[in-house]
Every structure is written in C-alpha cells, then in structure tokens.
Structure 1
Amino acid sequence: MAAEIALLGVPSCAGTHGPGQEKAPAALRAAGLPERLAAAGWKVTDHGDLPVVPFRTDPARRTSQNLDRVVEVVEAVAVAVGGIVDAGALPLVMGGDCTVTLGVVAAQVARRPRTGLLYFDGDLDLSVPETTRSGVLDTMVLSHLLGEGAPELYRAGPRTPLLPASAIVAFGHEPAELGAPARERMARHGLRAHPCTEITAPGADPVSAARAAREELTAGHDGFLLHFDVDVIDSVDFPLANFPHFNEGLPLDVARDCLTELCSAAHLAGLVVTEVNPDRDPGGDLVRTLVDMVTGALESALDARERGA
C-alpha cells in the first residue's frame, strides 16, 4: 500500500502584512502539485481548503493585529491536521501565513508529545507584542511556540509551551534581520539556529549543514515537522515570498538542495509551506518552480520511508 500524503489548504492572510497568500493553495494545485506527488509514488488525498481569511489591518489592536482571527485559524488547522494524523497520513499544509504552523504543531504534539520542529525560514519570528513595531503575528511564531507573546496564542494547544527550545532547530534565517530583543530571547531559550551566512560561508557544504540540522532532531524526537517559508530564498533569485528579502537568504539552488535533504528522513511528520504570494508571479513560473522543489523533496521523503532511513 502506498504511503499517503494529505493536502490541506489554509488560505489565510490573518497574520500577515498584506493580501495574496490566500491564493496560494489554489495556485499550487493549479500548478500540478497533487498530480506530481502521485507520480512520485504517494497516495494523495486532498482535504480541500479551510475558509478563506482575507487580509485586513486591525487599528484597534496595533501590537497583535487580528489576534482573534489568527487564533480561529490556528484552532481550525489543529482540528483538520489532527484528523489527518489520526488517519495515518502525512500532512502537507499549504499556507497562508506562518501562524498556520502553530496549529500544525498543536495537532502533532497532542498526539506525539516528542515531536520536533525544523524551522526553515528567512526570519526567526521571535518578536512579541511588547517589542514589535508592525504587530504582525507571523513575525512571532517561534515566540508563541516557546510560550511567550499573546496568551491566546501560546496557550492554543495541549500544553504551554507548545515546544521546548530543545525540540526546535532553526535553519536559514538572515541574522541581519534580528533585533536586540530577538537576540536576547534566542540566547535565553538556548535556541539552536543555523543562519544563512553559516550555511553559505566559504568552504561550507549546505547539504551537510541541512543533514546535521535534521539529525539534531531525529536523534531525540519521535518525528519532526518541517516549516518551509519561501522567504528563506533570496528574493532576487525567487521573488515569490509575501515579504521579500532582497540580497539576503539562500540562493535558489541551495535552498532546493537543503529542502530535499531536510525532507530525507523516514521520521518526517509533516510539511508546512508558507508565505507564497501568487500575486508576485503573474505568469506562474515561480509557483511551478516551487512545485518542482516540493515534489522533489517529498519524493526523497518517500524514498527514506521505503528504506527506513
């Protein structure tokens, strides 16, 4: 019997900077994602989309914008992903903004408390309402996972914190984007993080770095989730991210190779793809490239399952 992968779209802009990401699940399907996964050997079940949540600003709550709507999305994601996990399928969650990952983690740790998280993202998302300027909640995801920020979010799961720092490895962030409060939070929690500057330093081997980051989790946890924010890729190479990082991040080919390596484990418990904004890709070429990347990476995950690696 073929291993099953379950698609879930979360077309939400509740926690982000602007419109567009609500179109991502439809764009990924239109670019052939389900068919490509099936051709790679997966049994594919499409669970459709959760309700669309369009972008809006929230002048009444400037430091935690749209908190009520983000909490609703996180709770809905946790229920939907919980059903997927209970059915024995591998969830592939198509966001939407980064706060989607809070719901995926909540569902997973409710069933497998020793789950780890690889946070493959151009930012560490360690803001909190007290230190933010934008109030955009997808800049606060790791803080909420670690039990800081808005109580409505960091308590939106089966335990607080949802994950200890020992269960998280961050990979690919741009260190120049870190402010002093985020650096303090990172040091206080002892968060393991591998910046893009380390991964692409002269003489470095990005694939080996990705393998080492993955093995930090597979050694001590019963599976791991992979959060993949496309803004980890230099926007000069790949301007698909909702919040661009020009001349920062990983080159496209490096990001592709690292994504494949990060997925190359039998213990992969789910993949979340975030920050895809099809409005930045009128011709659809970038979305098709992303589908190539994701299907190639998940083909390596299937191979690892078959090998038991």
Structure 2
Amino acid sequence: MTSPAAQDVRRTFGLVGVPTSAGSHNAGQERAPAAWREHGLVDALGRAGAQVTDHGDLAVRTHRPSPRVEGVRDADRVRATCLEVADAVARVAGAGEVPLVLGGDCTTTLGVVAGLRRTGRVGLLYLDGDVDLNRPELSGSGVLDTMGTTHLLGGGSAALADLGQDGPLLRPEEVELFGFDPAELDEQQWTTLTRLRLSATPAPEVRDDPAGSASTAWSRLARAADRVVLHVDVDVLDTGAFPLANFPHFNGLALDELSVCLRTLAQGVGLAAVVVTEVNPSHDPDGSLLSALRDVLVAALA
C-alpha cells in the first residue's frame, strides 16, 4: 500500500491542459492552461530537474449562461470535457507518465479519476476550499463545479455520476477531504459527509500542523488506495491574501501553508496524477500570483 513517508521520487510528468469553464459560475478559467505556460511552469519544472512532456490542450469550452435542466447547468458540455480528459489521462498514464492536469474548473477532476479508473481503483486527496458535496435538487445555482465530490461518489446528475464506469467512480473510503473551510458547508453537506463517513481535515487543523496533517491524511487514504490523485483547487487559499481563485474564500490557507502541504503530499509513493483547478487569470493582471504559485508547485513536484 502507499506510504505517507516522503520519498526521493523522480517522475516523468505528462502535462495536459483543460481550458474549460463550462462547469463554473463564469468565464475566465478556460484561460488558465495558457497562462501557466506563459508564466513558465513547464520550463521551471525542467530547470528544477523534473521531466515534463507537454501534450497540449484539449478543446476549449467557455462558460455560457445555460438554463437549469434537472437541477444542473450545461451538463452535456461538462460531460464531453470529462470524457476527453479521461481519454487523455488514460493515454498519458499508459505511457508511464504522471498526468499533470491544468484546469479549468474543478469538474476536470472527474475526468482524471475516470481515466485512471480504467485500469483499477484509485483514491483522491481533495485539497480544496470546499467539499463540493452539493446536490442538483438542493443547489441554488445548478453549477456543476460545486457538486464534484457528489458525482465522484455516484450521486447527482446521471450524465456525470459514472462517466463510463460500472458504478460510482469512487467509494467513500477512497476520498480524503483536506483544507476546506468548515463555514462553507451547509447542513446538507455536513449530513452527507457524516453519513458517508468521509475522512476530512478542515483548514483550521491543517493550519495547526501543515506537514503533519498532510502526512496523516495521506496515510489514512493509503489504507484504501494504492494510487492517489492529488486535486489542488486554488480556492483553498485565502482570497484576502491570494485572490487568484475563480470564487472567493476568505478563511483559507496561506501560501506558505499550502506549500508545506504540497511538498509533503507530492512525495508520497503512489501519486498517480496531479490536478490544479480554479485559476482565473483575470484576477492576476500582473502575473505575480501565478508566478508565486508556480514556484510553490515546482518546489513540490520537482
């Protein structure tokens, strides 16, 4: 099984850009993969010693105002993106590379998990300012990137609940929620989290001991999964100090706390993919935020 201990692991990453905001509240995130490249992420990883193959971008799908259909918006376009992501991730992983997937909104992670599930079970370390356990029938917005975990666990819209697999993409024991703001959860989400007995480490606990909490979370997930997807939604960061995320969160982690967590998590044996989501370059006109986050990612992955 996967060890939480830090390892001197040299991996070859296969970068896939997912320029989509179809599952989001608004446009902007579809520009993120290009912005990462413009700010030198690939070159910086290479200079730091990481091997990276850039496989380019998938189809662009920009947010559009859409009516609610069975409680969700634009499900067909979100599903199309997820299936394209699944195909790309399966190809990259099949070539022996670790997918480094640059979203896009956080429905991107459904496609990453679906692609890896074609060759067996997988776990998910969900480093996010939310737990994304909204449900179509209860959501006020119908926006699908607020429901990612619900769909990964087999609930919600039929268009996203299995993505070609026989049954749910993940079991409850294969999910580790990490870094979320407890105040962001409504009663329904707390009820679901408790009912499913999902493992969860909220932001205040992470802040108390970033390295220790990350190691503990990885170790716990390792009991259920030999392969782990690391999902990194930048809204885990406090918007007041680091306003890069598409949707604001004001009780998030500091950048240095996230850096410690990522360095711990990214060195775990069994890391099967890394997904970075919710970057909106419109919030970063001078590029300073992307540059700072680039350096954090490079320090963790290289």
TM-score range, shorter chain: over 0.9
Cα deviations across residues 84-138 of structure 1 (Å, max 9, x unaligned)? 011010000000000000000001111132x111000000000010110010000
Cα deviations across residues 55-104 of structure 1 (Å, max 9, x unaligned)? 11112537201111000000110001110011010000000000000000
Partner AA of 2:219 in structure 1:
E
Identify which of structures 1 and 2 has the higher relative contact order when contacts are C-alpha pairs closer than 8 Å and 6+ apart: 2
Partner AA of 2:220 in structure 1:
E
Question: Which residue is 1:133 aligned to?
Answer: 140
- More displaced stretch, 70-79 vs 51-60: 51-60
Instruction: Determine whether 1:142 maps to 2:149.
Output: yes
The 2-side partners of 1:52 and 1:79 are apart by 16
Question: Which residue is 1:232 aligned to?
Answer: 236
Question: Which residue is 1:162 aligned to?
Answer: 169
Q: Secondary structure at the match of 2:73?
A: coil
Q: After superposition, where does 1:257-272 map in structure 2 within 5 Å?
A: 257-272=260-275
- Tell whether the 8 Å contact from 1:125 to 1:141 is kept in structure 2 after alignment: yes
> TM-score, with normalisation over the residues of structure 1?
0.92
The 2-side partners of 1:213 and 1:167 are apart by 11
Partner AA of 2:79 in structure 1:
V
Shift, 1:264, TM fit: 1.6
Instruction: Determine whether 1:107 maps to 2:77.
Output: no
Question: Which residue is 2:61 aligned to?
Answer: 53
- Equivalent pairs, count: 293
RMSD: 1.2
The 1-side partners of 2:240 and 2:166 are apart by 40
- Tell whether the 8 Å contact from 1:93 to 1:271 is kept in structure 2 after alignment: yes
- Tell whether the 8 Å contact from 1:62 to 1:134 is kept in structure 2 after alignment: no
The 1-side partners of 2:124 and 2:70 are apart by 29
Instruction: Determine whether 1:12 maps to 2:20.
Output: yes
Instruction: Determine whether 1:121 maps to 2:128.
Output: yes
Unaligned runs of 5+ in 1: 300-309
Question: Which residue is 1:71 aligned to?
Answer: 79
The 2-side partners of 1:62 and 1:29 are apart by 37
Partner AA of 1:281 in structure 2:
D
Q: After superposition, where does 1:287-302 map in structure 2 within 5 Å?
A: 287-299=290-302
- Tell whether the 8 Å contact from 1:222 to 1:267 is kept in structure 2 after alignment: yes
Partner AA of 1:89 in structure 2:
E
- More displaced stretch, 173-182 vs 217-226: 217-226
The 2-side partners of 1:256 and 1:245 are apart by 18
> TM-score, with normalisation over the residues of structure 2?
0.94
Q: Secondary structure at the match of 2:91?
A: helix
- Tell whether the 8 Å contact from 1:14 to 1:70 is kept in structure 2 after alignment: yes
Cα deviations across residues 223-244 of structure 1 (Å, max 9, x unaligned)? 2000000000001111000001
- Tell whether the 8 Å contact from 2:152 to 2:162 is kept in structure 1 after alignment: no
Partner AA of 2:108 in structure 1:
V
Cα deviations across residues 275-302 of structure 1 (Å, max 9, x unaligned)? 0000000000001111111111102xxx
